Amino acid sequence: MIPLPEEEYRQLSELQHFAFCRRQWALIHVEQQWGENLRTIEGEILHERAHDEQKTEHRGDLLIVHGLRVVSHQLQATGVCDIVEFRRSPDGVSLYGQEGLWKPRPVEYKRGRPKTHDADELQLCGQAVCLEEMLCCEITEGDLFYGEPHRRTAVSFTPQLRARVADLLREMNSLFQKGYTPKATPGKFCSACSLKDVCLPQLKRAPTVTDYLASHAREEKS
């Protein structure tokens, strides 16, 4: 892997776009094309970044850190965790300025309902990998919290999920470095895509331009 300067690391939140559609991700992050849906997407991006400055809450054996910035050099990615819960536990790690040992668990809040694809799990797992690297510990589980229904779902960070996170980030970093936008592979999910008008997924069905021009040129002669 090419070593990247830290400021060029991918954001973990980009995993959502990437897992949804590689082309959508590239249109947003490589090409910065967001057309008329600027505000829809901007809304999403703002939400992703609208974490308050980091703050810590104590609740007995629970320590809650909001808006923690995390980074993984192995993944070449950074991000911000909505919430990391530290629970007092004998198999935890020591934290500077805190007595005892603490076990971390990332929790991510999502508006709306669980998605049909694994974008949220990927992002959460990415956060866990960052935390592991920063705290030198192992994290096996985290939680996704959906606004609709008001419920927590536990996510376990399996070797498969971790491998997928690493693979996707590697691919994302390499596409970004090359400035390459993958071709459209349109599907049903396009109807939920706010970049449809910029992507033009129907190009996939269109004839080549050479054929288009040639057929019109023939008609010119006739």
Partner 1 sequence: MKRLLNTLFVLSEDSYLALENENIVIWGEEGKRGQFPLLGLESVFSFSYKGASPALLGACTKRGIGFTFLTPNGRFLARACGAAQGNVLLRKTQYRISDDPNQSCFAARCFIFGKLYNSRWCLERTVRDHGLRVNVEALKRSASFLSATAAEALKETNLDTLRGWEGQAATEYFRVFNEMILNQKKDFFFTVRSRRPPLDCVNAMLSFGYSLLASDCAAALESVGLDSYVGFLHRDRPGRESLALDLMEELRSVFVDRFVITLINTKQILPKQFDKMEDGAVLLNDVGRKTFLNVWQTRKREQITHPYLQEKMQWGLVPYVQALLLARWLRGDLDAYPPFLWK
Decide whether 150 or 205 has the Cβ nearer to partner 1: 205
Dist CA 106 CA 129 (whole Å): 10
212 sits near partner 1 (criterion: CB under 8 A) = yes
8 sits near partner 1 (criterion: CB under 8 A) = no
What is 116-131 written as a DSSP string? SSSHHHHHHHHHHHHH
SS3 call for 220:
helix
Task: Name the segment binding partner 1 (CB under 8 A); options: 35-43, 51-59, 85-93, 115-123.
Answer: 35-43
Q: Count of alpha carbons within 13 Å of 178, Cβ hemisphere only?
A: 10
Task: Name the segment binding partner 1 (CB under 8 A); options: 91-99, 130-138, 165-173, 192-200.
Answer: 192-200
SS3 call for 146:
strand
Give start and end residues of each alpha helix (H) in the chain.
14-20, 22-25, 38-49, 119-135, 159-178, 196-199, 209-221
- Among candidate residues 75, 29, 71, the one with its CA nearest the CA of residue 177: 29
Cβ–Cβ contacts within 10 Å for residue 18, how many? 23
192 sits near partner 1 (criterion: CB under 8 A) = no
* Closest separation in Å from C-beta 37 to ligand SF4: 10
Considering CB distances under 5 to 8 angstroms, the limit depending on partner class, which of partner 1, ligand SF4, none binds residue 50? none
Decide whether 38 or 50 has the Cβ nearer to partner 1: 38
- Cβ–Cβ < 8 Å for 78, 12: yes
Helices (H) and strands (E) in the chain, counts: 7, 7
The strand pairing partners of 79, in sequence order, are: 70
Residues engaged in binding ligand SF4 (CB under 6 A): 21, 23-24, 27, 184, 186, 189-190, 193, 195-196, 199, 201
* Residue 208 DSSP symbol: P
36 sits near partner 1 (criterion: CB under 8 A) = yes
* Closest separation in Å from C-beta 116 to ligand SF4: 13
Considering CB distances under 5 to 8 angstroms, the limit depending on partner class, which of partner 1, ligand SF4, none binds residue 179? partner 1
Considering CB distances under 5 to 8 angstroms, the limit depending on partner class, which of partner 1, ligand SF4, none binds residue 24? ligand SF4
Residues that bind partner 1 (CB under 8 A): 30-33, 35-36, 38-39, 179, 181, 183-184, 197-198, 200, 202-203, 205-206, 208-210, 212-213, 216-217, 220-221
